[in-house]
């Protein structure tokens, strides 16, 4: 399993899709899952930039993983986003359910990704919602990077302020190691 982390707009979705196509891997995006399945009050919360409940995300992911044949590598985009989700993931690794080969942190500043998200134009890419997603990221997801560092995860940082092609080349180099 390869985990992609980074701010909204850091390129997790784009890079994940490229890698999955190029290397014939599964791509699991919890953001996609949420946009597909979540309705009502929880969808409103998502559209306001808030994270959804940990256990709910884990249950959703569990269901999807159960349908995937496990002889191919999985790229995980958008999970874990909290320390609790990271703890769950590492527990699965310890149980031997997955092998975690790389945690890739796509590093970019808020200024750079703010501009990209403005161009993307998803419903949760409105200025005030973007700011809320940044706050959620700093409050809940940034600590996951440090948590991974102190828990022996194979974490690497990649400069995600460059072009899509440059980042993609770098990821290919990394994944060969």
17, 25, 31, 74: which one binds ligand ADP (CB under 6 A): 31
Q: How many CB atoms lie within 10 A of CB 58?
A: 18
Instruction: For ligand ADP, give the closer residue by CB, 12 or 105.
Output: 12
Q: Does 58 bind ligand ADP (CB under 6 A)?
A: no
For 131, phi and psi rounded to 5 degrees?
A: -60, -40
Packed helices 12-23 and 164-176: angle between N→C axes, nearest 10 degrees: 50
The helix/strand/coil state of 48 is coil
Output the smallest distance, CB 7 to ligand ADP, in A.
7
Q: Which parts of 67-106 interact with ligand ADP (CB under 6 A)?
A: 78-79, 81, 85
Q: ∠ CA(80), CA(142), CA(49), 5° rounding?
A: 75
Instruction: For ligand ADP, give the closer residue by CB, 46 or 160.
Output: 46
> Residue 159 belongs to what H/E stretch?
strand 155-159
| Residue 102 · residue 174 · CB < 8 Å | yes
Binding mask 101-140 for ligand ADP (x = CB under 6 A): --------------------------------x-------
Q: Does 52 bind ligand ADP (CB under 6 A)?
A: yes
Residues of this chain that interact with ligand ADP (CB under 6 A) are: 8-9, 12, 30-31, 34, 46, 49-52, 57, 78-79, 81, 85, 133
């Amino acid at each position: 399993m390869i985990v992609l982390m980074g701010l909204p707009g850091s390129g997790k979705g784009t890079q994940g899709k490229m890698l999955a196509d190029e290397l014939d891997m599964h791509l699991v995006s919890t953001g996609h899952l949420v946009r597909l399945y979540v309705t009502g009050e929880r969808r409103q919360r998502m559209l306001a930039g808030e994270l959804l409940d940990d256990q709910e995300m884990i249950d959703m992911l569990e269901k999807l993983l159960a349908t995937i044949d496990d002889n191919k590598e999985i790229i995980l985009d958008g999970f874990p986003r909290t320390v609790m989700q990271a703890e769950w993931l590492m527990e699965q690794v310890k149980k031997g359910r997955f092998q975690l080969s790389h945690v890739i942190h796509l590093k970019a500043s808020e200024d750079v990704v703010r501009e990209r998200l403005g161009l993307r134009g998803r419903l949760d890419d409105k200025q005030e919602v973007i700011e809320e997603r940044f706050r959620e990221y700093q409050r809940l997801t940034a600590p996951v990077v440090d948590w991974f560092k102190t828990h022996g995860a194979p974490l690497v940082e990649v400069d995600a302020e460059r072009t899509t092609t440059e980042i993609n080349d770098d990821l290919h180099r990394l994944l060969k190691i």
